[in-house]
Amino acid sequence: MAELWTGYVWPTVIIVAEIIAIVLPLLIGVAYLTYAERKVIGAMQLRKGPNTVGPFGLLQPMADGAKLFLKEIIIPQGASKAVFLIAPALTFTLALVAWAVIPVNQGWVLANINVGVLYLFAISSLGVYGIIMAGWASNSKYAFLGGLRSAAQMVSYEVSIGFVMISVLLCVGSLNLSDVVHAQEKGMWFIIPHFPLFIIFYISGLAETNRSPFDLPEGETELVAGYMVEYTAMPFALFFLGEYANMFLMSATITTLFLGGWLPPLHMVPFTWVPGVIWFILKVCVLLFGMLWVRATMPRYRYDQLMRLGWKVFLPFSLGWLILTAGVLEVTGWLPK
């Protein structure tokens, strides 16, 4: 009995508690990211944004959630029912499970696995299924076109994301995300030597999360709302939350790979007083603000331009940079052992 307790029950309780400790702040963050997006874009367009529900409109996300929760779920005629309902759940789940390997502070990581970077890459490559399944199962041409566009777009940009990750990993010598941050502690943040890669990753991240200016899968001017067009109530809410959770994930990945994760900008007294997790959150917030800023500023890309950017600009550049990195490391003997 005691063995059952110490061997199985207690670890399970701890893991569940850790999962809640990750997911709960994340969900609150997601809710307030939707609020922040409306406020930021509002400010940039000289509007007020949400300001009625609660002080400064702070309860707006709750009101939106309650509204979506109470609406009726409509399943279109001729839709493949199971696939139609699995798709949003899949999108949302994938956006959450990837957080298992993100180190938010020294040692604060749910699963400190050796192939952390690959795990992140694998999970983000699965994200396309939620969208393509939704597009197909809706039995609607707008949704289907949105799904196909998104599949092509996400597969294209994943390739350059992969090369960017490999360049960074060459400088680390490990696939473990905590090791990635430790390598930046010893040297410098990878944004300094790999600045062009940071830009490529950020832009590819926008394309991966289907954010503006790459939100062609939604493209409301031509596809109404793309793959989401037939969704109502909670399934729609799951897509919506999944998109924002993916933004968080992308920002956290960039923070870990390029901005030194939980590290303070300088190893000096006033900076080292602040706990690592605060630095992590601050960096994520800066990147998220950039994403909102881009949405308020940039017009949507044309589809052929999107493909050109992915295949003819980012892919050759990141491949060339990978070779350059490998060459520099080999010649200077900085290759991590």
Could you list the residues that contact other proteins (CB under 8 A)? 8, 80, 83, 113-115, 118-119, 121-122, 125-126, 128-129, 132-133, 136, 144, 148, 151-152, 155, 158, 162, 175, 304, 308
CB of 317 to other proteins, least distance (A): 15
CB of 88 to other proteins, least distance (A): 15
| Amino acid (1-letter code) at residue 84 | F
241 near 89, Cβ under 8 Å?
A: no
CB of 52 to other proteins, least distance (A): 43
CB of 36 to other proteins, least distance (A): 31
Instruction: Return the residue matching tokens 């009995």.
Output: 1
293 near 211, Cβ under 8 Å?
A: no
Using the minimum distance from each CB to other proteins, give the nearer residue, 152 or 241: 152
Using the minimum distance from each CB to other proteins, give the nearer residue, 151 or 181: 151
Using the minimum distance from each CB to other proteins, give the nearer residue, 4 or 46: 4
For helices 195-208 and 276-297, give the axis angle rounded to 10 degrees: 70
CB of 39 to other proteins, least distance (A): 35
Using the minimum distance from each CB to other proteins, give the nearer residue, 158 or 215: 158
Measured between alpha carbons, how far is 149 from 196 in angstroms, rounded to an integer?
27
Rg (CA), the chain: 21
Beta bridge mates, 335: none
Measured between alpha carbons, how far is 146 from 219 in angstroms, rounded to an integer?
8
Using the minimum distance from each CB to other proteins, give the nearer residue, 29 or 162: 162
CB of 151 to other proteins, least distance (A): 6
137 near 80, Cβ under 8 Å?
A: yes
Using the minimum distance from each CB to other proteins, give the nearer residue, 189 or 214: 214
- 246: which 2 tokens? 């993916």
Closest CA relative to residue 10, chosen from 1, 189, 318: 1
